[in-house]
Amino acid sequence: MGGNTGELAQSFIERGFKAIVAVVDLNFLDRKFAGREFDRAFLSDLPESVDPCGENGEFHSFVYAGPIFRKRVAFAAAEVALRENRFCYCDLVPTEQTFGNGKKFGIILASAARVLSQLEPAS
């Protein structure tokens, strides 16, 4: 990616986008970064060796709100789990949704990168 990624990360925040760090590569960052908001505090806590936008795969984020969104994506951060002996995932669980037929289902998102295909009726 060309340009200054530090400036890009600051601009992302200043423009009102909201994101959560969904995956952390332990070769670059401590597991405590998984599940954190992508905000000024997060950026200031990053080691100098880590790209502020995660352009080298140091972390991955899930953007859930911002000026181009019609509405905020509703979710809850759940368990932070080590997978593949290298990556810490903050599992994200969307809130209940109503589909076109009026039925409500609980959908579980195993991580920002992997959606489970199993639907369970909400009680």
Average pLDDT (47-67) is 96
Chain center to CA of 90: 8
Q: Is 14 strand, coil or helix?
A: helix
Q: Is the pLDDT at 105 greater than 60, yes or no?
A: no
pLDDT, residue 101, reads: 52
Give me the chain's average pLDDT, please: 82
Res. 95 pLDDT band, cuts 50 70 90: confident
Q: Is residue 87 packed enough to be buried (19+ CB in 10 Å), middle (13-18) or exposed (0-12)?
A: buried
pLDDT band at 77 (very low <50, low <70, confident <90, very high): very high
First to last CA, the chain: 46
Q: Check: CB of residue 91 under 8 Å from CB of residue 111.
A: yes
Above 80 in pLDDT, residue 62? yes
